[in-house]
Amino acid sequence: MLVYGQEILNKASKECYGVGAFNFVNFEMLNAIFVAADSAKSPIFVQASEGAIKYMGIDMAVNMVKTMSKRYPHIPVALHLDHGTSFESCKRAVEAGFTSVMIDASHHPFDENLDETSKVVEMAHKEGVGVEAELGRLMGIEDNISVDEKDAVLVNPKEAEQFVRESKVDYLAPAIGTSHGAFKFKGEPKLDFERLKLVKELTKIPLVLHGASAIPDYVRESFHSSGGDIGSSKGVPFSFLQEAIKGGINKVNTDTDLRIAFIAEVRKLANEDKGQFDLRKFFTPAMNAMTKVMIERMEVLGSANKI
């Protein structure tokens, strides 16, 4: 059942659990997301970035999600534009049938971010569509970072309060120390949970954790054993994800874990059966691997058995 993003996240915020927001670029990834949600009995966000939309075509992305929603009508699902870079991009997504959009103007000064976000909110709310915005910059927190440096890149809670009040945004991604990709931390993982709790207290809306892939040991080992190399990659530990949910996070973005799990299985079969060229032989185990990752994630986040 395709629903607006705020319907899923307002419930999650009220009941204090997190909902996985999983990126997709093709049918195999999307199918695995729905199979996992069906197995775990979990609501979901399915996300497409501007790059993914360019790859698939916006009509294909929307129609695939609509088709899967009809196949699994009992699953609440929001179709979300991930990291929309402009008002025009968000408007195209809303007009195409997305039920949630993110306007990412976090690289601009506060006032410009607020102005751009407010325009997107006004446009999207006319169609009932929920809007996500971001404050701060995603980068890992290291032991040697000074207080001033930390305050320069992480979300300012008082600014978050003003931003939410004036923009009327539905959910906010506050920078608390994560980063995108497979290499999130150089040393021990660190997130600013106290800052997160204060943002939640001041804004009282669902919050979003970007750069939240965990890269579990078994996923990393599968990638390495198949001949891949992601070195000493570090994701966000499950215990950190759960602590973040306690602090107010309700939407947890996950992309890197799915890519790594998928490619590990494809490479493994390519190595073992060099004469194989049936795409189904490659993609079926790849889908199963992603499904396993997502079911585990839904259980960790607390969204399992919420439908």
Active-site positions read 82
Provide Rg for the chain, Cα atoms. 19
* CB 158 within 8 Å of CB 202: yes
Residues 6+ apart with CB under 8 A from 97: 62, 66, 79
Q: Indicate if the alpha-carbon torsion angle 86, 195, 13, 205 is positive or negative.
A: negative
- As a whole number of angstroms, the distance between CA 65 and CA 95 comes to 15
Tracing tokens 């993609």 back to the chain, one arrives at: 283
